[in-house]
């Protein structure tokens, strides 16, 4: 039976160890991933926030700005600056919602669609490196655990 490390991940405990604190480990992994892919994205003229927006819109478009912000985990005021920058770069366009004229939605431009293809090409090798050694079961379990952590924060 595995040792119960949960008490050591409790920041309120005198036995706290940062190396078993889940949110430190998550942040460390995300930060490292961002460092690794940032140079590749910059090489094709993108930054990480723009890449996230493009990836979200590539799945479903149009989408309301607020929904893209939520999906990208970006606060709305920051999202508005990102949208402005991406519009100026010709990556996205804004359109009024067909169902609610008060809502502004985002769509990819032809250049945005080209950039998403390039971004997928340069980030895919890092994804493959990231999941190397994970079985399908391991990967599914990881996704389940991450979703459970998220749900517990809701």
What are the pLDDT digits (tens) for 87-111? 999 999 999 988 888 889 999 999 9
Instruction: Write the DSSP assignment of 121-148 as a string of letters.
Output: HHHHHHHHHHHTT--HHHHHHHHHHHHH
| Residue 79 · residue 72 · CB < 8 Å | yes
23 in a structural domain:
yes
All residues at 6 or more sequence positions from 58 whose CB lies less than 8 Å from its CB, including other chains: 108, 113, 116
37 shares its domain with 52:
no
Does 59 lie in the same domain as 10? no
Q: At 91, list the tokens.
A: 């990556």
92 and 80 assigned to the same domain: yes
Specify the 3-state DSSP secondary structure of 94: strand
Average pLDDT on 7-34 reads: 93
Number of domains in the chain: 2
CATH number of the domain where residue 102 is located? 1.10.10.10
Q: Based on the fold, state whether residues 32 and 57 are members of the same structural domain.
A: no
Answer whether residue 153 is part of any domain: no
Whether 86 has a pLDDT exceeding 90, the answer reads yes
Q: Which residues of 55-64 are buried (b: 16+ CB within 10 A; e: fewer)?
A: ebbbeebbbe
pLDDT at 97 (0 to 100)? 86
Range of the domain at 82: 47-126
Question: Quick one: pLDDT band at residue 119, thresholds 50, 70, 90?
Answer: very high
Q: pTM, whole model, 2 decimals? A: 0.86
| pLDDT at residue number 125 | 95
- Closest of 60, 55, 85, 80 to residue 69, by C-alpha: 80
> Residue 79 in contact with residue 57, Cβ under 8 Å?
no
């Amino acid at each position: 039976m595995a040792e119960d490390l949960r008490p050591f991940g409790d920041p309120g405990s005198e036995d706290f160890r940062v190396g078993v604190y889940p949110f430190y480990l998550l942040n460390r992994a995300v930060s490292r991933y961002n460092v690794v892919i940032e140079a590749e994205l910059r090489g094709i003229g993108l930054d990480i926030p723009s890449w996230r927006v493009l990836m979200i819109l590539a799945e479903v478009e149009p989408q309301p700005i607020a929904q893209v912000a939520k999906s990208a985990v970006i606060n709305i005021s920051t999202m508005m600056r990102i949208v402005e920058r991406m519009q100026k770069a010709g990556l996205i366009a804004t359109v009024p919602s067909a169902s609610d004229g008060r809502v502004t939605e985002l769509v990819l431009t032809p250049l945005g669609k080209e950039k998403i293809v390039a971004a997928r090409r340069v980030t895919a090798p890092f994804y493959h490196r990231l999941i190397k050694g994970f079985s399908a079961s391991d990967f599914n379990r990881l996704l389940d655990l991450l979703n459970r952590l998220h749900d517990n924060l809701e």
